[in-house]
Amino acid sequence: MAGSSEAFIQMKIFLSLFLALGLSAAAADRPNILFIMADDHAAHAISAYGSKINQTPNLDRIGNEGMRFENCFVVNSICTPSRAAILTGKYSHINGVTVFNRFDGRQPTVAKMLQKGGYHTGMIGKWHLTSNPTGFDYWNVLPGQGQYHNPNLIEMGKTNKIKGYATDIITDLGIKFIQDRPKDKPFFLMLHHKAPHRPWEPDDKHAHMYDDVDIPEPATFNDDYSHRASAAKVATMRIDVDLNKKDLKQEPPPGLSAEALKKWKYQRYIKDYLRCIASIDDNVGRVLDFLKKEGLDKNTIVIYTSDQGFFLGDHDWFDKRFMYEESLRMPFMVRYPGKIKPHTVSDGMILNVDFAPTFLEYAGLPVPPEIQGHSIKPLLEGKKPKDWRTSMYYRYYCHPSEHTVNKHYGVRTERYKLIFYHDLNEWELFDLKKDPHELNSVYADPKFADVLADLKKELERLRKELGDHDQWVDKPPKSVTGPDAGQ
Ligand code: CA
């Protein structure tokens, strides 16, 4: 009897060892996914993207050790809608988050699918979708916009005030999530920074960075908005007139000319913006070092992106919303050693709705047919499919609202961009090759008649394919008040 019980125990030990090995093999087979997203970080403030105004050595590590995308675009350039598009892999008119409205967390999301498929899922940092996160084993998020200093964070429904700087805290919590994870499962972590969102409050460490230098002004700093639709002229996000006291944080020196005051305001704005990014860069470096130390660097896909682009004084603006390049383009860099070739750059046109299906494909899970984006895994493996998209559809809904950017939709191809401000009944057409700064609309130029006809056809084709039949056109933006207000 004693012998058979011993044999039974031995068999149990053998079986548990076998199971544990099997499970860790399964975890090793499937990569961890660390999705790091900043808020309002324009690609042209990353040195890997050729920034003329700052250096981001740690962010560049992701691009240098993997692939950098030159043409990653957002389908609706504003915080809350971009987050909903990323989670669902669907455009705003399908996922229901066109403005700052509440995300219906009952709908399918990539987090839910990965969780169901055996991933340990986490969401840390800026959530900004009003409803509580769903599909996450662990979540700890800022309420609404959150604070830069000593922020409140809501951990699985319980609010805690945490001392310190948001970017450091979010990073600490991300590292802790990875440390505490169940080791028999791969993890999926959405690590979302608040920075560098307005009002651009740096930490003490970087408060005096750039004190003694002048940051170069962008080429379109003195744009006068002529030769375009009227939307640009009426937008209230100008460096010279629309930055407020909270943004500037200092009184301007007395007696400045209008031109000198505008230059002074730009320096105040851009230096604080870049200081916030310097802290992100340090903290991303900290996460990358941690992964290496833990031996997780080989089997973790690390992504760095931002929820949209941003105007860095371009066209005399801060903020985003327009379909113009600076706001439309997202930084997107991915490293996955052994699977993605280092130092590679892709010009493939990818969108924020592509992220969800990409994660699912890497996790070996099916991509539901309702998902509108496409997995970019082939591009990451250096194989651009022949039928990969060469045009994208964009739509912005949030008007009337802060910054008074008129509603618009449009199509961008590899060469051209057509924008329709439907409330104004005004169009813009840009030849991005000849006019990369989008200063001169050629919509009325007869030389572009054929191009225009093709683009209008393409725009209608995309609208039909994606199911946008103006179902949200008469719905005014819903303002979310209280701690969730903002964008
Ligand atoms: Ca944003």
Ligand 1 center from residue 435 Cα (angstroms)? 26
Q: Give me the percent of the chain exceeding a pLDDT of 90.
A: 91
User: Which tops the pLDDT comparison, 323 or 23?
Assistant: 323
pLDDT, residue 479, reads 55
Residue 278 has pLDDT above 50, yes or no: yes
Residue 6 has pLDDT above 80, yes or no: no
Mean pLDDT of 254-267: 98
Ligand 1 center from residue 313 Cα (angstroms)? 16
Ligand 1 center from residue 325 Cα (angstroms)? 15
Ligand 1 center from residue 197 Cα (angstroms)? 7
Mean pLDDT of 185-203: 98
On average, the pLDDT of the chain sits at 94
Ligand 1 center from residue 78 Cα (angstroms)? 6
Ligand 1 center from residue 117 Cα (angstroms)? 29
Confidence label for 24 from pLDDT (cuts 50, 70 and 90): very low
Mean pLDDT of 316-328: 98
Ligand 1 center from residue 37 Cα (angstroms)? 10
pLDDT, residue 377, reads 98
Mean pLDDT of 374-391: 97
Query: What pLDDT digit, counting tens, does each position of 333-348 carry?
Result: 999 999 999 999 999 9
Residue 8 has pLDDT above 60, yes or no: no
Residue 464 has pLDDT above 90, yes or no: yes
Mean pLDDT of 292-314: 98
Ligand 1 center from residue 155 Cα (angstroms)? 22
pLDDT, residue 483, reads 38
Ligand 1 center from residue 234 Cα (angstroms)? 21
Query: What pLDDT digit, counting tens, does each position of 426-438 carry?
Result: 999 999 999 999 9
Ligand 1 center from residue 196 Cα (angstroms)? 9
Query: What pLDDT digit, counting tens, does each position of 399-410 carry?
Result: 999 999 999 999
Task: Give the whole-angstrom CA distance, residue 153 versus residue 146.
Answer: 8
Q: Return all residues near 234 (Cβ < 8 A) that are at least 6 apart.
A: 404, 406
Mean pLDDT of 194-222: 98
pLDDT, residue 473, reads 84
Q: Give me the percent of the chain exceeding a pLDDT of 70.
A: 92
Ligand 1 center from residue 82 Cα (angstroms)? 8
Task: Give the whole-angstrom CA distance, residue 461 versus residue 455.
Answer: 10
Ligand 1 center from residue 39 Cα (angstroms)? 4
Ligand 1 center from residue 123 Cα (angstroms)? 17
pLDDT, residue 408, reads 98
Q: Which of 63-67, 205-209, 249-253, 397-401 has the lowest mean pLDDT?
A: 397-401
Ligand 1 center from residue 447 Cα (angstroms)? 37
Ligand 1 center from residue 449 Cα (angstroms)? 36
**One CATH from 3.40.190.10, 3.40.50.300, 3.40.720.10, 1.10.10.10 for 32-390:** 3.40.720.10
Confidence label for 3 from pLDDT (cuts 50, 70 and 90): very low
Residue 201 has pLDDT above 80, yes or no: yes
Ligand 1 center from residue 62 Cα (angstroms)? 21
Mean pLDDT of 144-155: 97
pLDDT, residue 17, reads 46
Q: Return all residues near 282 (Cβ < 8 A) that are at least 6 apart.
A: 58, 205
Ligand 1 center from residue 487 Cα (angstroms)? 7
